Amino acid sequence: MITSDYISVEELLASSKNDQAGAMVLFVGTVRNVNKEKEVSCLEYEAFKPLANKMINTIIEEAKSKFNLISAICIHRIGRLNIGDTAVVVISVSHHRQEAYAANQFIIDHVKHETPIWKKEYWKDGTYAWGYNCNCSLPHKDLQEYLSNHE
């Protein structure tokens, strides 16, 4: 889900609790103060909301099915964010930790690479730049691959 409101991690965690769950994995993406060796002033996120919401829902449903999750959520903030602000939250809830970890990675990777969300980075020297594809190159492992690499 795309929101322009403050994201309360505590409230999202509380709402994700489930008696069937043996694991909850939380990813919080925050605004850091340095990028490309330059001091960051703030970020501005923009999204094509109708399509971004639809694509995030599709990614969540795919993750729930692929990793047998009890539940999963992904919330991405748009608008101007300051250093330390929460930009994105992913929570994956499952019976066991392996699925929750793998699903969380799957969700954030797909959201970062595929959904129409863009970052404009303002630096303290007064310049700015639009972000392109993130630098992370993690493959979208399925659970079997994940487990075989971590046993």
Partner 1 sequence: MEIKITIQVFAVLKEYFEEKFEINISEQSSCMTILSLLGKLQPQATGLLSKCRVANEEAILDNNYTINNNDKIYIIPPSSGG
Question: Where do contacts with partner 1 occur on this chain (CB under 8 A)?
Answer: 29, 45-48, 50-51, 54, 76, 87-88, 108, 111-120, 130-134
* CA pair distance 43, 50, nearest whole angstrom: 22
Q: Smallest distance from the beta carbon of 38 to partner 1, in angstroms?
A: 16
Q: Smallest distance from the beta carbon of 87 to partner 1, in angstroms?
A: 7
**Strand pairing category for 71-77 and 2-3:** parallel
Residue closer to partner 1 (CB basis): 25 or 117? 117
Q: Which residues pair with residue 27 across a beta bridge?
A: 90
Strand order in the sheet with 71-77: 2-3, 71-77, 86-94, 23-30
Q: Smallest distance from the beta carbon of 83 to partner 1, in angstroms?
A: 16
Residue closer to partner 1 (CB basis): 22 or 116? 116
